[in-house]
Amino acid sequence: MRKTIVAGNWKMNASKDSVDNLIKDLLTGMDGITSEVLVCAPFPYLAQVELLIQGSKVMLGAQNLNTNASGAYTGEVSADMIKDFGARHVIVGHSERRSLYGETSAMVAEKTKAALNAGLTPLLCIGESIEQRDSGNTEAVIEKQLSAVIELVGIEAFNQIIIAYEPVWAIGTGVTATPEQAQEAHLFIRSLLAKNDESVAQKTPILYGGSMNASNASELISCADIDGGLIGGAALKAEDFLQICKVG
């Protein structure tokens, strides 16, 4: 039985005040929540969140990492630095990084490897654009993105990886995948893992991301192969995020 995981991706939205208020409000509502709850903060706020969540069941993650351990990489942040602030997770391959910052599947695979080597759990994002879906290429795109990672780190490593299926057309658009569309993609992703190792496939959490909110989370997360959510906009409001966390 896989646990439900609800992860917030704050993207580039935070201030010291907003982080204080959001985490404090989240912590007051955590009683009785059985899902694993995780917030992925922008780098400058990791230290602040680390202090605020101490002793709570909320976990901390980052949104990106550099593959090198240290050195002359101006502006970059390593896996060990992320770990230094108590984070246990890091998002890799988010579609915004693939499309805006030119991250290829090969680079995403290297980032996944660097995170794993440092003992961080990568939240590996994959998903198709609307053009790819409309031209019938959804499965081919997902397979290519996932295979690049499997080939580099091996299927066993997926015991330490969380996958997030995030159809690009659903991100920040208010257009959520229907439960049927999402379940179909999740089942396909699980079948790709199963081709390599059935038991790893059954254990790997696959989260859905893309305009998930307090109203649609329940019907999505109740699908057989949807193990939780990666939440953008709705993760910035404690009440909405808590509502989603309660679904698990």
Q: Which residues bind ligand 13P (CB under 6 A)?
A: 9, 94, 166, 171-172, 209-212, 230-234
Q: Which is nearer to ligand 13P, 155 or 220 (CB)?
A: 220
| CB 40 to ligand 13P: min, Å | 8
Compute the distance between CA of residue 246 and CA of residue 59 in angstroms, rounded to an integer: 16
Q: Which of 94, 103, 128, 143 is catalytic?
A: 94
Compute the distance between CA of residue 220 and CA of residue 86 in angstroms, rounded to an integer: 30
36 is an active site residue: no
| CB 100 to ligand 13P: min, Å | 12
| CB 96 to ligand 13P: min, Å | 7
Task: Tell me the residue nearest to ligand 13P as measured from the CB.
Answer: 232
Q: Which is nearer to ligand 13P, 78 or 216 (CB)?
A: 216
Compute the distance between CA of residue 133 and CA of residue 137 in angstroms, rounded to an integer: 6
| CB 190 to ligand 13P: min, Å | 20
Please report which helix (H) or strand (E) contains residue 134, including its range.
helix 130-134
166 is an active site residue: yes
Q: Which is nearer to ligand 13P, 41 or 212 (CB)?
A: 212
The structure tokens 């108590």 sit at 86
**Backbone φ and ψ of 172, nearest 5°:** 70, 15
**Spatial CB neighbours of 58, under 8 Å, sequence gap ≥ 6:** 23, 26, 27, 30, 37, 38, 39
Q: Which is nearer to ligand 13P, 6 or 155 (CB)?
A: 6
Work out the angle at residue 201's Cα, subtended by the Cα atoms of residues 145 and 226, and round it to the nearest 5 degrees: 80
Q: Which of 89, 103, 166, 186 is catalytic?
A: 166
Compute the distance between CA of residue 103 and CA of residue 121 in angstroms, rounded to an integer: 19
| 3-state secondary structure (DSSP) of residue 174 | coil
Q: Active-site positions?
A: 94, 166
